[in-house]
Chains A and B, each alone.
Chain A
Amino acid sequence: MSKEILTLDKLKLGEAAIVISFNDEENALKFMEMGCTPGQKIKMESIAPLGDPIAVIVSGYKLSMRKTEAALINVERI
């Protein structure tokens, strides 16, 4: 099976992926500062009841973000 690149918001609950790159420079810096760097493992941990925002596990802690922000992160499913 070929590995597909998708954005983080498309990940299903419980799925894990590797951070590949970012689609927005400014937010990329914010993400990276918080330990969400390319090569890091990231896991979709929970989705807020209204479908937004989401929470992921990255670098050993829980990080929440809006779906629009998650759509800026390209990941590869593992």
Chain B
Amino acid sequence: MFKKIKLKIGKENAQRELKVAVLGNPNSGKSTLFNALTGLNQQTGNYPGVTVEKHSGDALIHDDKTGDNIYVTYLDLPGTYSIYPKTLDEEVCFKVMCDDTNEDHPDAAIIVADASNLRRSLFLATQIIDLRIPCIFVMNMMDIARVRGVHIDTSELSKFLGVPVVAANARKHHGVDEIKQLLAHGLTPPQKDFIDINQFVPAQVMEPSQKMFPKKSPYGVYQLVNNEAGIEHFEILPTQKIDIKKLIKASGFDKHRIQSQETIARYKAINEIVKECVKIDEEEKRKSLSSRIDAILTHKVWGYLIFLGVLFVIFQSIFLIAKYPMDGIEFFFVKLSELGNDTLPKGELSALLINGILAGLSGIVVFVPQIALLFAFIAILEDTGYMARVSFLMDRLMRPLGLNGRSVIPLMSGMACAVPAIMGARTISNWKERMITIMVTPLMSCSARLPVYTLLISLVIPSTHNYGFFNMQGLVLMGMYLIGFLAALAAAFVMKSILKSREKSHFIMELPLYHIPKFSTIGLTIYQKVRMFLFDAGKVIIAISIILWFMASHAPKGTLPAIETAYQSTDSTKKYNPQQLETRVSSAKLKASYAGMAGKWIEPVIKPLGFDWKIGIALITSFAAREAFVGTMATLYSADSKDNTQSIREKMAAATNRETGGPEYTAAVGFSLMLFYAFAMQCMSTLAVVYRETKSIKWPIIQFLYMGAMAYLASLIVFQVFK
């Protein structure tokens, strides 16, 4: 062991710098090793031009031979099976590894292999070796493989590959120091080619291309030529591109044939190595436990029951357990703004701080418990290997809708809150399936719609209507949830035929062996997701809540003081007690404000839906959060009641329609309003997260428009038919 020296991780404390890429198959434990190498010093960003998340991290390595400190930037590349780019993730790996002008092109690579899946890992490893990138081959989970009866001769393997081989278990931090010292001592580029690519590629292409790029290995040159369509990313001269295109055309270069020849040859050579270096005691024994678990978890009855149980636990947790910390956060912010109101000098700046910024902040922080819980569950499901089985069980059901087996968890989580759900759609690797999931998830009835539904249901459905066992109000509430669910499925079906994708939907994936989840990995996932939400989506939410605050509290010049003076007349002060007076003033102010003006302004548009300008104001303020509907209605109706003892429900029930003279909230208005809330995209936090996740303003706008159109049409039809 070398002495650990605590130094600030910064370039100023290092003698040298090194860029290291960590790559490997999905489920190889690549990210666990990355976490072990970097700790918490990680950054998440995006690769330029694509929506693939980029994880990088910094660390200092103390070289125990020279005493130097080396500043290492690790790059955690997306999991891939080969260097040939087919998906967006693989394209990132291809560009980073094959293009030495890429800003992320590494000085060295760590190739992580699951020791019990050696052949497939060697396929990727030998491609990197043929690119002549200095690398270390890390056999992860070596101890587990040994228990399962797999014995690997690492020194023999190292001789065959021509690169250092390390046996490790990143979960237990085994082998991590060895990897660091290997990096510190310096690696040399591999000297021999594993596969001679010249035997498959026509010499009339290879020779002139090699001359164009003398520094590249033959395999590197071939990869560049093979991806001729993609080489616009490389900094090569336009004339060279044209030359390569000409060569390809002239020689009858068949990229698919060469690739399949290379793949077969590579596996053949790998099989020879495995025969030499790997001894397996009992092939069947090592897979038996996972197989037995699979027999239950993918069973036609138990499989679905267990999955329903898992969903139930997740849903209940986001819905119920998260409620307590959320209440706590809300309480904290209420107290904080009360404190602000009491201590800060009255004025515009204080109002902005308390009602604008603080309210926005509370609207962001309040989501943290739900996000943390959902990602804890998703991380556990991923880390154990159960998520792949969920896809296996659900794929057949979700496929006709253009969704993936993995869409189930985000969709169901959307019933609690769309914000974490949309972030959870990241586990879907296919772009089109992920986009559809993101676009339809907000149609699932989230918990913020619940207060709106309960208020309106209690208003228009008599609680006395019971059908035997069933309570009518409860049935209608369930119906609203069902409508949201069906709308999401229908929208997915429509979007499936509209969205175009160059990525083919496929389901060729590994069902990894089961693992016990590692809690530091789960903790890190939660930390990253929460941080991402707070800082990226948070900015948008704060901005919108400041606009909403301004609209609700400001009015054209002179109107607000006029209201104050009007209510200060002796007539009013006699008629009402101070509290009544205050609610009346705030109600009058809200009506006169820009939000109130907007409510009146949109009245002609929403009138066919049965909504008046008061509902119009509530629709606008609901944009901060749907449950704001209840609060806004309470403020607006406070002026119309004789005293303040009536509840908001009673006040709304007593409201009369100006034209008909009958009750304002008829069943038709109630249902029209509920459907509007079921379909309309009235949540700035969701829009902010969609923007964050899709990296484009286009998708939140489309979402806002299509859901708005659905809401308008549904409400229009219901009101016009039933009024």
Contacts and interface: CB of A to CB of B under 8 A. Distances in A.
Interface of A: 25-35, 37-38, 45-46, 48-53, 55, 57, 59-66, 69
A66 B507 contact: yes
A25, A31, A32 — which one has the most chain B CB atoms within 10 A of its CB?
A32
Contacts of B510: 34, 61-64
A33 B507 contact: no
Given A25-B256, A48-B392, A49-B299, A30 B86 contact: yes
A27 B507 CA distance: 11
Contacts of B267: 32, 35, 37
Contacts of B260: 25, 28-29, 32
Nearest to B505: A66
Contacts of A62: 287, 290, 294, 510-513
Could you say which interface size class chain B belongs to? 35 or more
The 6 A-B pairs at the shortest CB distance, nearest first, are namely A49-B300, A50-B396, A62-B511, A32-B263, A33-B82, A66-B507
22 contacts: A27-B506, A28-B260, A29-B84, A29-B86, A30-B508, A33-B84, A34-B120, A34-B508, A35-B120, A45-B291, A48-B298, A48-B393, A49-B300, A49-B393, A55-B294, A59-B119, A62-B513, A63-B508, A64-B388, A64-B392, A65-B509, A69-B507
Given A31-B508, A49-B303, A64-B511, 15 more contacts: A25-B260, A29-B259, A30-B508, A48-B393, A48-B396, A51-B396, A59-B119, A60-B117, A60-B118, A62-B512, A63-B511, A64-B392, A64-B508, A69-B506, A69-B507
A49 B305 CA distance: 12
A52 B263 contact: no
User: Secondary structure of the A side of the interface?
Assistant: mixed
Interface of B: 81-82, 84, 86, 116-120, 123, 256, 259-260, 263-264, 267, 283, 287, 290-291, 294-295, 298-300, 303-304, 388, 392-393, 395-397, 399, 504, 506-513
A48 to B, nearest CB: 6
Nearest to A37: B267
Contacts of B256: 25-26, 29
Given A29-B256, A59-B119, A52 B506 contact: no
A22 to B, nearest CB: 8
Contacts, number: 109
A41 B472 CA distance: 60
Contacts of B84: 29, 33
B117 A33 contact: no
Q: Which of B117, B120, B388 has the most CB of A within 10 A?
A: B120
Scoring A31, A57, A61 by chain B CB atoms within 10 A of each residue's CB, the highest score goes to A61
A63 B25 CA distance: 13
A65 B284 CA distance: 22
Nearest to B294: A46
Contacts of B287: 57, 62
